[in-house]
Amino acid sequence: EIVMTQSPATLSVSPGERATLSCRASQSVSSNLAWYQQKPGQAPRLLIYDASTRATGIPARFSGSGSGTDFTLTISSLQSEDFAVYYCQHYNNWPPYSFGQGTKLEIK
């Protein structure tokens, strides 16, 4: 099973600043990676798929990069509504489709 590891566990950033979240796979997943945002009491929302393609309706300040084992989600200028938990998920050599443990993005 491919293990997804996200870092850091918690990231404190001020509104208007850039946030960079990392996700590492225990073996190559090519570009078969998605990012989700989850706010308290809500279901996850798809942000990015195929490592770098924004899902429908996702603002341009969200961007994804990487391939193989190392991936990054960047939020260029944090808005108040962006403070949430973010998960990565691979879809290579499935099942299972492993999720990372999440990064909590909090207001500094």
Partner 1 sequence: QLQLQESGPGLVKPSETLSLTCTVSGGSISSSSYHWGWIRQPPRKGLEYIGSIYYSGSTYYNPSLKSRVTISVDTSKNQFSLKLSSVTAADTAVYYCARQRRGTYFDYWGQGTLVTVSS
Contacting positions for partner 1 (CB under 8 A): 1, 32, 34, 36, 42-46, 49, 55, 87, 89, 91, 94-102
For 80, list phi and psi in degrees, rounded to 5.
-60, -35
Nearer to partner 1, 16 or 40 (CB): 40
Please identify, using beta-carbon distances, which residue of 69 and 98 lies nearer to partner 1: 98
Shortest Cβ distance from residue 91 to partner 1 (Å)?
Answer: 5
Q: How far is the CB of 107 from partner 1 (least distance, A)?
A: 20
For 34, phi then psi, to 5°, come to -125, 155
Extract the runs of DSSP E, i.e. beta strands, from the chain. 4-7, 10-13, 19-25, 33-38, 45-49, 53-54, 62-67, 70-75, 85-90, 103-107
CB-nearer residue toward partner 1: 37 or 69: 37
